[in-house]
Amino acid sequence: MSNKKDHKQDENDTKILEKVEDMEKTKKLKKCSEESIASIDDANSEETKEVEKIEDLPLEKEGTIIDEDTDTFNKVTKGSKETINDKSTSKKTNKKNVFTIILICIIFILFVALIFSLNKEQKKEKKDTDKVKDTTDIVLTEDDKKEMITSYGKALENVIAISYQKDQVLLKFEEANKLVKIKDDIICSIHEIYDDGKIYLSSCSVNGKMTKYSYGEKQEPKELFDSETMLKVYVNRMTNERSFTIPNNTENVDEYTVHCDGVYESPTLLGFSDYVFYYDSNYNVQMKNFKTDKKALEGMKYSSILPFINKNQYDTKYVAVSDGNKWGIYDLETTKAVIAPIYDHVVVNLNMGTAGPPISISTIKGTNIAVCKNGKYGVINYTNGKEIIPINNDTLQLSGNYLWATSNAENTIYDFSGNKYLTEGYDKIYGISAGTYVLVEQDENIKLIQMDGKVLYEYGKVKKLGPLNFALDYNGGALFQFYKENMQDPMCIEYSYDPDSNTGETKEIECGGLAKPILYLYPKEKTEVTVSFEHPEFLETTYPKFNNYWKVSADTNGDLLDKDNKYYYALYWDEKKVHSVDFSEGFYVEKDDAINFLEEKLSYIGLNDKEKNEFIMYWLPVLENNGKSLVYFELTEERESYNKLLINPKPDSMLRLVIHIKKVDSKTNIKKETLSKFKRSGFTVVEWGGTTY
């Protein structure tokens, strides 16, 4: 019994020693952790002691301390079994508590580190999001999108209203869009501007994302040919705005009725005056006061009346009037003649030749206009009849800031004030191109000079030259084409000049027979563009040189730079005649109608002013020289079917236009071709060219 007791006592002693050892291990673990765990109390260490003091250990009595020396051990071993068991349980609990605290602290540290890491990542994501916030609508609500489209529409209407008040001309959508300053990228592929200055927007995207929202109301186009031949004019009493379309809000709006005495076309308001003018059934222009419904210059008999327009603004005081045979100039306010009817005709637009008239007269500069009298041309001031350039020239053409006058006696270059240029030192002046290059004969040699007389290139001895066919800008240089003998000769002599290489070329060529496809690129921002063809083998002459493709840097205004920073305003090529038409439909055009025809059709199709000017300057001579022609317009889909353009990045909108011209001997009936309208949006590409038969 005693031995069992002793053995049991030894076991208890051993357990106590193990517990003390565990306590020592715990104290060492605490010491290792105390620097990183703030929740555990600091312990003062003494290196000379074998066992360190443990605080806060739960005991039987408050204040009892387990010492680290032998006496403490003896006190513990002499206690009762229950006390030892209690102490043992307390120590186990203490051990678990310490480890639990350590574990909690470690988990806490890891949790804090995780939170810190997530916070850092969120800040990075927010920073990245902020960078693209202006170009994406990820954070935009539906209300945001609707408000943005609405603000955009109101901003467009505002700039349109301001421009109309200033110039009495409604802006085109592209022009208005350039004046609107918006932070986000908003594109509406459907857009309409109405006569009342209101705008309709649909199929819109914000920062590249399509939206369901539109702006404004779709207005049905007003039919201008009505059974009663009456024209309605609406005037806002508050803003003085005038329109042929009923405004959405008719408050403070007066309505006037004009009786047009038959069918009418193309009604136009004469600025902020009380006059409206339009074509009658015979395509003569008539003008009436829409408030009184009385004819302009009442009491005077005339067949047609034309207003003057300078820089898109109508002159509301003076008009040109035809008595059916001759033209004169009248004061609209006093109804008195400034110049009695003595002119064969008033030149409608000198930029486009000398035929006319359409619905208004464009001035050369200020109040100077070109007129024709007894078959000769000159320039007058229409407010007083003073001659600026004598009316004794066979032809009169505009080139840059100069006028090119030709006659049997001499060819002369004038400025807009009537001053002569290059009058001495030259045997003959053959022509001027782009207001910069002049082709002259000097000492029996053909030379290209500048307006100051500087020689740019010498072509050599004079070859026999017939009349000048045309002179025009050619990729920044010059191109002059002359008939070999007379205007009936199918072959021409051509002089060209390239300013980049400072070289020229002389060659014999079919008159007006160049296909001359020319390509304009208009990206939304400066972009590297590559252009090629499905059938590059069809190409002949190219400029710049085509080597499997063109690669250029295109700016928003159409300016092009190649890899060497050489400038081009367009891409040019000649193409083999691989596509012909049978003229089963198209248009019959006579020489005197050629200008009006080209201006009307090209505007309807969708060329801008620059593109129209260059197209007409090239193809007008062909139509005028033919006398009578059949014309067919080949448009995008048909042209793409036999030699597709390959452009990267892909354009958002593209127009390809080729004019086919066939000379005929007499008036020919032909089924009218139905033309489609081209709308520009985003990255726009425009091509035009032509061919003859």
DSSP string of 379-406?
EEETTT--EEEEEEESEEEEETTEEEEE
- 87 with 154, same domain: the answer is no
What whole-number percentage of the chain has pLDDT above 70?
A: 75
Query: Running DSSP on this structure, what letter comes out for residue 170?
Result: P
More confident residue, 192 or 89: 192
Given a contact cutoff of 8 angstroms between Cβ atoms, the answer to whether 172 and 160 are in contact is no
- 530 with 673, same domain: the answer is yes
Q: Which range among 340-349, 373-382, 387-396 shows the weakest confidence by mean pLDDT?
A: 340-349
User: How far is 369 from 387, CA to CA, in rounded Å?
Assistant: 10
Residue 140 has pLDDT above 90, yes or no: no
Residue 668 has pLDDT above 80, yes or no: yes
Closest CA to 691 of 571, 539, 517: 517
Q: Are β-strands 420-421 and 428-433 bridged in parallel, bridged antiparallel, or unpaired? A: unpaired
- pLDDT of res. 160: 87
Instruction: List C-alpha distances in Å: 21 to 312, 450, 486.
Output: 105, 110, 126
- Report pLDDT digits (tens) over 456-487: 999 999 877 888 877 776 667 888 888 887 76
- 58 with 159, same domain: the answer is no
Q: Which range among 134-143, 417-426, 540-549, 642-651 shows the weakest confidence by mean pLDDT?
A: 134-143
- 551 with 643, same domain: the answer is yes
Please state the rounded mean pLDDT for residues 230-250.
89
Q: Is 349 helix (H, G, I), strand (E, B) or coil?
A: coil
Amino acid present at 185: D
Residue 83 has pLDDT above 80, yes or no: no
- 620 with 652, same domain: the answer is yes
Closest CA to 489 of 460, 515, 513, 514: 513
CA contacts within 13 A on the Cβ side of 116: 6
Question: Which residues share a beta bridge with 431?
Answer: 439
Give per-residue burial for 597-633: e unless 16+ CB within 10 Å, then b: bbbebbeebbbbeebbbbbbbbbbbbbbbbebbbbbb
- 96 with 16, same domain: the answer is yes
User: How far is 256 from 444, CA to CA, in rounded Å?
Assistant: 68
571 in a domain, yes or no?
yes
Instruction: List C-alpha distances in Å: 527 to 3, 523, 544.
Output: 102, 7, 18
Is 176 buried (19+), middle (13-18) or exposed (0-12) by CB count in 10 A? buried
- pLDDT of res. 577: 54
Given a contact cutoff of 8 angstroms between Cβ atoms, the answer to whether 377 and 394 are in contact is yes
User: How far is 682 from 690, CA to CA, in rounded Å?
Assistant: 26
Q: Which of 118, 150, 173 represents a domain boundary (last residue)? A: 118
383 in a domain, yes or no?
no
Residue 117 has pLDDT above 70, yes or no: no
Closest CA to 595 of 287, 359, 275: 359
Band the pLDDT of 131: cuts 50, 70, 90: very low
User: How far is 384 from 406, CA to CA, in rounded Å?
Assistant: 25
- pLDDT of res. 235: 94
- pLDDT of res. 72: 42
95 in a domain, yes or no?
yes
Q: Which of 210, 243, 267 represents a domain boundary (last residue)? A: 210
- pLDDT of res. 550: 92
More confident residue, 113 or 352: 113
Whether omega before 357 lies within 30 degrees of 0, making that bond cis, reads yes
Q: Which range among 1-15, 241-255, 546-560 shows the weakest confidence by mean pLDDT?
A: 1-15
More confident residue, 490 or 620: 620
Instruction: List C-alpha distances in Å: 299 to 102, 296, 311.
Output: 112, 9, 31
Amino acid present at 557: N
527 in a domain, yes or no?
yes
223 in a domain, yes or no?
no
Please state the rounded mean pLDDT for residues 188-215.
84
Residues with Cβ within 8 Å of 574's Cβ and at least 6 positions away in sequence, in order, are 514, 515, 516, 517, 539, 540, 541, 542
Is 141 buried (19+), middle (13-18) or exposed (0-12) by CB count in 10 A? exposed
Given a contact cutoff of 8 angstroms between Cβ atoms, the answer to whether 648 and 618 are in contact is no
| Number of other CB atoms surrounding residue 333 within 10 Å | 10
φ/ψ of 490, rounded to 5, equals -75, -15
Give CA 248 to chain center in angstroms: 30
Given a contact cutoff of 8 angstroms between Cβ atoms, the answer to whether 403 and 389 are in contact is yes
More confident residue, 532 or 108: 532
Residue 669 has pLDDT above 50, yes or no: yes
- pLDDT of res. 80: 40
Q: Is 165 helix (H, G, I), strand (E, B) or coil?
A: helix
Is 415 buried (19+), middle (13-18) or exposed (0-12) by CB count in 10 A? middle
Task: Note the pTM of the prediction, 2 decimals.
Answer: 0.47
And the tokens for 376? 């000769």
Residue 597 has pLDDT above 80, yes or no: yes
Given a contact cutoff of 8 angstroms between Cβ atoms, the answer to whether 508 and 466 are in contact is no
- 192 with 113, same domain: the answer is no
238 in a domain, yes or no?
no
Question: Which residues share a beta bridge with 483?
Answer: 492
93 in a domain, yes or no?
yes
Amino acid present at 567: Y
- Report pLDDT digits (tens) over 426-460: 999 998 987 889 999 999 999 999 999 999 999 99
Residue 690 has pLDDT above 50, yes or no: yes
DSSP string for residues in 259-278 = E-SS--EEEEE-TTSSEEEE
Band the pLDDT of 221: cuts 50, 70, 90: low
DSSP string for residues in 269-303 = E-TTSSEEEEE-TTS-EEEEETTTTEETTTT---S
Largest Cα–Cα distance of the chain, in whole Å? 157
- 525 with 657, same domain: the answer is yes
Give CA 127 to chain center in angstroms: 32
Band the pLDDT of 359: cuts 50, 70, 90: confident
Token pair 């066979």 is at which residue? 394
Domain count, the chain: 3
Q: Following CA atoms 403, 406, 407, 409 in sequence, which dihedral angle do they give, to the nearest 10 degrees?
A: 90
User: How far is 417 from 402, CA to CA, in rounded Å?
Assistant: 10
- 186 with 45, same domain: the answer is no
- pLDDT of res. 352: 43
- Report pLDDT digits (tens) over 504-544: 999 887 665 445 678 999 999 999 999 998 878 777 778 88
Helices 70-77 and 81-132: crossing angle, nearest 10°? 120
Closest CA to 429 of 415, 444, 413: 413
What whole-number percentage of the chain has pLDDT above 90?
A: 34
Q: Which of 210, 237, 253 represents a domain boundary (last residue)? A: 210
91 in a domain, yes or no?
yes
Band the pLDDT of 575: cuts 50, 70, 90: confident
- 8 with 105, same domain: the answer is yes
DSSP string for residues in 106-139 = HHHHHHHHHHHHHHHHHHHHHHHHHHHTTT--TT
Tallying the residues shown for the chain, one arrives at 693
- 151 with 9, same domain: the answer is no
User: How far is 307 from 473, CA to CA, in rounded Å?
Assistant: 31
Amino acid present at 676: S
Q: Which range among 106-115, 121-130, 583-592, 669-678 shows the weakest confidence by mean pLDDT?
A: 121-130
Rounded mean pLDDT of the chain?
Answer: 79
- 536 with 655, same domain: the answer is yes
Determine the structural domain holding residue 573 and report its residue range.
Answer: 518-692
Whether omega before 247 lies within 30 degrees of 0, making that bond cis, reads no
Band the pLDDT of 84: cuts 50, 70, 90: very low
Residue 581 has pLDDT above 70, yes or no: yes
φ/ψ of 99, rounded to 5, equals -65, -35
User: How far is 597 from 447, CA to CA, in rounded Å?
Assistant: 36
- pLDDT of res. 426: 92
Closest CA to 204 of 183, 189, 185, 219: 189
CA contacts within 13 A on the Cβ side of 115: 6
